[in-house]
């Protein structure tokens, strides 16, 4: 096995499919875990039955038949299940994974300790006594120990990284990860920080646990095999970021320029706690080489108070989408302004144009500032009077109820809200189709899907349409340059994003 090993998890329900998957896994993984509890046509009573599909293996294999209590997909009598695992590892596989709760029963079968993984799973939380759990687990003779918990917030991952550091200092082989979207960083960084391996599925939607990436993503997007503790860390922080296109774009550009950087999706709910425990050099609890962060909904405005300085655009807009970690502290920038305005300027001159901006959040502030800087006349339309009033006061623009857009005379309509976004409210629009009638340009900052209901309505009304993909690429290119001092290859980021959208 290579360092930073990727383990493909086989979750097929038939022996024939499992056999095919084991053969396919050789192209993307360093070893394989076969989840026997997924199989529906397998006779668990005879370990020799494993030979029918393990004979095609070309890599080390871990046999797992999880108990229902720890995530198993069907009930198999413990005596049958444990004998299958112990004998299977002794005769045909390289390892078997047995839960610590069943260790004593398995020990009566005299398992080979050099082929044994002893594991603990908590599917609901990351318990506060994880060190004590590790102490009990590591006291059980085995080649590898495994702890997998559920991350309810990004701060839960700190306990996992601390365990990895401890195991590394003690010379133990430990697999430790946090399940769920908040735990994705443990899956990408875990091996570089001391983990024995990381797990991946063979295809999207086939994962054995929440937050599990595909083997291809781990290899090709995050380049897990090349990550070390010196690798420079960047990422996107926001409420829901697991399906963001930003990791594909930035990591593709890092690879193209052969830079030792990685870009991660980081789900953050407690912004203050995250900056204190992960970002601030004087208080961070994770020893990572952090260089910068993209900031998205809902943190673009609130993050400004946590930074040491803002560039002129970010200060005027009152919102930040890019953080740079510098020797002197934390600097905030706003590349959304240029990113949002560039696609509009490619289709029309903005000076003197009547523009309607839907929304009053951080993205709206960037768009309003950018439009005004180009001489446009702006009206903000929003359902949130309080936010609208604050934005109007900041920029001296009119603010109207969203319902009044239909009777307005604006030529250009720009949606800055997440309404219509995949995973949020796909298939809906912030306004009725009739509100778009007669407009010259209709622009949606959303990029997944490429054609939202808002844009579909605009097409039906013969408006010129712009989706958010070009903005995404332009603002990302500016972020990349802030962090690396290098320009990404022309059009590479937009192409990477489009390929990812098309593949989904």
Per-residue pLDDT tens digits for 244-273: 999 999 999 999 999 999 999 999 999 999
pLDDT band (50, 70, 90) for residue 1: very low
Phi and psi of 355, rounded to 5°? -120, 135
CA angle 198-199-200, nearest 5°? 130
Predicted confidence (pLDDT) per residue in 86-133, tens digit: 999 999 999 999 999 999 999 999 999 999 999 999 999 999 999 999
Compute the distance between CA of residue 414 and CA of residue 403 in angstroms, rounded to an integer. Answer: 15
Predicted confidence (pLDDT) per residue in 416-465, tens digit: 999 999 878 999 999 999 999 999 999 999 998 999 999 999 999 999 99
pLDDT for 207 equals 87
Q: 329, 326, 378: which is closest to 351 by C-alpha?
A: 378
- Residues sharing a CB contact under 8 Å with residue 60, sequence separation 6 or more, in sequence order: 1, 30, 31, 32, 94, 95
Buried b (16+ CB within 10 A) or exposed e, 96-130: bbbbbebbeebbeeebeeebbbbbbbbeeebeeeb
Averaged pLDDT of the chain:
95
Compute the distance between CA of residue 85 and CA of residue 192 in angstroms, rounded to an integer. Answer: 29
Q: Do domains 5-217 and 237-334+481-490 have the same CATH topology?
A: no
Q: What percent of the chain has pLDDT over 70?
A: 99
Buried b (16+ CB within 10 A) or exposed e, 148-163: bbbbebbbbbbbbbbb
Contact between residue 471 and residue 445 where contact means Cβ atoms under 8 Å apart: yes
Contact between residue 71 and residue 40 where contact means Cβ atoms under 8 Å apart: no
3-state DSSP of 118-182: EEEEECCCCCCCHHHHHHHHHCCCCCEEEEEEECCCCCHHHHHHHHHHHHHHHCCCEEEEEECHH
Compute the distance between CA of residue 94 and CA of residue 11 in angstroms, rounded to an integer. Answer: 18
* Residue 2, pLDDT above cutoff 70: no
- Residues sharing a CB contact under 8 Å with residue 441, sequence separation 6 or more, in sequence order: 344, 347, 348, 411, 412, 413, 463, 464, 465, 466
Tokens 């594991």 — which residue? Answer: 119
Task: Give the CATH class of 5-217.
Answer: alpha beta
Contact between residue 56 and residue 23 where contact means Cβ atoms under 8 Å apart: yes
Contact between residue 86 and residue 92 where contact means Cβ atoms under 8 Å apart: no
Strand partners, 232: 261, 289
As separate numbers, helices (DSSP H) first and strands (DSSP E) second, the chain gives 17, 20
Q: How much is the pTM?
A: 0.92
Q: Chain centroid to CA 462: how far?
A: 37
Please count the CA atoms within 13 angstroms of the CA of 41 that sit on its side-chain side: 10
Which homologous superfamily does the CATH classification assign to the domain defined by 337-467? NAD(P)-binding Rossmann-like Domain (3.40.50.720)
**Domain limits, the chain:** 5-217, 237-334+481-490, 337-467
- Name the 3-class secondary structure at 412: strand
Active site residues: 121, 146, 300, 336
pLDDT for 56 equals 83
* Residue 504, pLDDT above cutoff 90: no
Domain covering 237-334+481-490: architecture: 3-Layer(aba) Sandwich (3.40)
Tokens 């963001």 — which residue? Answer: 244
- Name the 3-class secondary structure at 440: coil
Euclidean distance between the first and the last CA atom of the chain, given in angstroms as a whole number: 31
Compute the distance between CA of residue 343 and CA of residue 419 in angstroms, rounded to an integer. Answer: 20
């Amino acid at each position: 096995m290579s360092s930073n090993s990727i383990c493909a998890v086989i979750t097929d329900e038939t022996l024939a499919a499992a056999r095919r998957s084991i053969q396919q896994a050789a192209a993307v993984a360093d070893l394989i875990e076969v989840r026997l509890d997924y199989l529906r046509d397998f006779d668990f009573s005879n370990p020799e039955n494993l030979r029918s599909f393990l004979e095609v293996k070309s890599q080390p294999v871990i046999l797992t038949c999880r108990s229902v209590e720890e995530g198993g997909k069907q009930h198999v009598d413990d005596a049958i299940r444990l004998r299958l695992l112990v004998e299977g590892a002794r005769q045909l596989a390289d390892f078997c994974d047995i839960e610590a709760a069943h260790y004593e029963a398995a020990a009566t079968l005299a398992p080979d300790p050099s082929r044994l993984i002893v594991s603990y799973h908590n599917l609901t939380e990351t318990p506060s006594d994880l060190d004590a759990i590790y102490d009990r687990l590591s006291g059980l003779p085995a080649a590898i120990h495994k702890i997998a918990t559920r991350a309810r917030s990004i701060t839960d991952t700190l306990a996992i990284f601390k365990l990895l550091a401890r195991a590394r200092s003690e010379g133990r082989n430990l697999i430790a990860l946090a399940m769920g979207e908040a735990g994705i960083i443990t899956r990408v960084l875990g091996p570089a920080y001391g983990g024995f391996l990381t797990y991946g599925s063979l295809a999207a939607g086939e994962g054995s646990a929440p937050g599990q990436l595909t083997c291809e993503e781990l290899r090709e997007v995050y380049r897990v095999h090349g990550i070390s503790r010196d690798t420079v860390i960047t990422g996107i922080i926001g409420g829901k970021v697991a399906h963001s296109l930003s990791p594909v774009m930035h990591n593709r550009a890092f690879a193209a320029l052969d830079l030792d950087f990685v870009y991660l999706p980081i789900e953050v709910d407690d912004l203050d706690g995250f900056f204190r425990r992960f970002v601030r050099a004087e208080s961070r609890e994770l020893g990572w080489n952090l260089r910068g962060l993209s900031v998205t909904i809902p943190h673009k405005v609130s993050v400004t108070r946590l930074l040491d300085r803002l560039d002129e655009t970010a200060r005027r807009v009152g919102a930040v989408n890019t953080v740079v970690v510098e020797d002197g502290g934390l600097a905030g920038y706003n590349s959304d302004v240029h990113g949002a305005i560039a696609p509009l300027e490619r289709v029309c001159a903005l000076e003197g144009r009547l523009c309607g901006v839907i929304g009053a959040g951080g993205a709206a502030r960037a768009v309003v500032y950018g439009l005004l800087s180009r001489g446009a006349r702006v009206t903000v339309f929003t359902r949130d009077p309080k936010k609208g009033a604050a934005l109007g006061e900041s920029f001296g623009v009119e603010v109207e109820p969203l319902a009044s857009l239909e009777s307005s005379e604006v030529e250009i309509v720009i949606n800055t809200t997440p309404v219509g976004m995949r995973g949020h409210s796909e298939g809906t629009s912030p306004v009725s189709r009739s509100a778009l009638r007669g407009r010259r340009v209709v622009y949606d900052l959303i990029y997944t899907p490429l054609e939202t209901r808002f844009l579909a309505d605009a097409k039906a009304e013969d408006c010129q349409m712009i989706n958010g993909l070009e903005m995404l690429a332009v603002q990302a290119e500016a972020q990349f340059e802030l962090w690396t001092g290098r320009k990404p290859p022309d059009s590479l980021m937009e192409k990477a994003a489009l390929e990812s959208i098309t593949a989904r």
